[in-house]
Amino acid sequence: MEDRIRNSENGTEGADAEKRLKCEWCGEALPEDELLKEADLGRVCRRCADALRSRGERLVIEDE
């Protein structure tokens, strides 16, 4: 009913096609392939990974 209409308005495009996961660092929800799996931090987005690297942090990316 009304809820269904509201849901389809809120739904992001292609929401069912890709699952979104949260970056452990900034909390932003991103498609899984935008996130890197870091050994200690968990999933972090590329932006956070770059920021951490530029601060001199050593990241251990498991799937890069």
Interface with Zn ion (CB under 5 A): 23, 25-26, 45, 48
Min dist. Cβ of residue 10 to Zn ion (A): 23
Min dist. Cβ of residue 22 to Zn ion (A): 9
The candidate with the shortest Cα–Cα distance to 48, out of 40, 59, 32, is 59
Nearer to Zn ion, 15 or 29 (CB): 29
Nearer to Zn ion, 14 or 27 (CB): 27
Q: What is the CA radius of gyration of the chain?
A: 15
Q: Please state, in angstroms and rounded to a whole number, the distance separating the CA atoms of residues 44 and 48.
A: 6
